[in-house]
Structure 1
Amino acid sequence: MDKERLPRWGWLLIGLFLAAMVANLLNLFVLGPTVLPVAYRSITVITIMSPVLIYVGVWYDEERQSYWANSRAKIAGDVLFVVTGAALGSAITLVAIVGFGLPTFLTDILAMGVGFLLSWGLFWWRNQGLYADELDR
């Protein structure tokens, strides 16, 4: 994939669209009919979108290319932390606010915010050196 073919936001848009499609298919055919109530289906969307939000930036930015020199086990562990953080953050938020009678759109936005922040926080915690240059500014 040629990074220069599209700007960063283009790659992000394509990745988020594909992640949303995969998550909705998972909800429709696997989780929806079996165990997951409708109010909690956004957890899968948030969970699958979170690696896209983090890793498009790491892949696209030249100053972050050193990340890819890490072992596959480290990268897999980071992805696991990102996905787990997004799932836990969004699930805890939804459990806490789903009974308040807020509009579905608002509950989904709040769950996304908390899920993405927790997943990025866990990624940053495991890779503090990757963002050290931004802390020095």
Structure 2
Amino acid sequence: MDKDRLPRWGWMLVALFSVTILANMLNVVVLGPAGLAEEYHVVTVIAAMALVLIYVGVWYDEERQEYWEFRTERIVGDVIFVVVGAIVGSGLAIVSIGEFGFSRLLQDVLAMVSGFVVAWGLFWWRNPELYRSEDDGR
């Protein structure tokens, strides 16, 4: 894929749209019939979107290209951390605020914020060297 074909936000938009469709298909075809309650369908979308928000930046930014030199097992572990973090963060948010009577939109937005923060926090915790600047001194 040619990074110069689209700006960063363009790649992010295309990827977010794609994973949202895939996550919703997973919800309709697999998780819904398996018994997952509809208010938790947003969790799969958040987990997929968290991957895009983190990894498009790592892929697009030249100063973070060293990440792709890690062993495949480490990258797979990072992906698992991101997905599990997004699921746990957004799921806990839905469970915590479910009884307050918030609108579904507000509940979903709060779950997104929570899921994204936990997912990015876990990714940063495993890869702090990607976010240090050259003049950081550490």
Residue of structure 2 equivalent to 1:86: 86
**CA distance in 2: counterparts of 1:108 and 1:135, whole angstroms:** 39
Query: Equivalent residues in 2 for 1:37-116 (5 A)?
Result: 37-116=37-116
1:29 and 2:26 are equivalent in the alignment: no
Residue of structure 2 equivalent to 1:5: 5
Assess if the C-alpha contact under 8 Å between 1:20 and 1:49 holds in 2.
yes
- The total of aligned residue pairs comes to 137
Normalised by the length of structure 2, the TM-score is 0.96
Q: CA deviation at 1:136?
A: 2.7
Q: Which whole-Å deviations, capped at 9, do the CAs of 1:40-70 have from their partners, x for residues lacking one?
A: 1100100111111000000000000010000
Q: Give runs of ≥4 in structure 1 deviating > 4 Å.
A: none
Secondary structure of the equivalent of 1:102?
A: coil
**CA distance in 2: counterparts of 1:34 and 1:67, whole angstroms:** 37
Q: CA deviation at 1:93?
A: 0.5
Specify whether residues 16 and 97 from structure 1 end up closer, same or farther in structure 2 by C-alpha distance, changes over 3 A only.
Answer: same
Residue of structure 2 equivalent to 1:117: 117
Structure 2: 5+ residue stretches without partners: none
Assess if the C-alpha contact under 8 Å between 1:39 and 1:98 holds in 2.
no
Residue of structure 1 equivalent to 2:18: 18
Secondary structure of the equivalent of 1:111?
A: helix
Q: What is the alpha-carbon root mean square deviation over aligned residues?
A: 1.4
Assess if the C-alpha contact under 8 Å between 1:43 and 1:90 holds in 2.
yes
Secondary structure of the equivalent of 2:106?
A: helix
Structure 1: 5+ residue stretches without partners: none
User: Sequence identity, in percent?
Assistant: 56
Secondary structure of the equivalent of 1:32?
A: helix
**CA distance in 2: counterparts of 1:128 and 1:7, whole angstroms:** 25
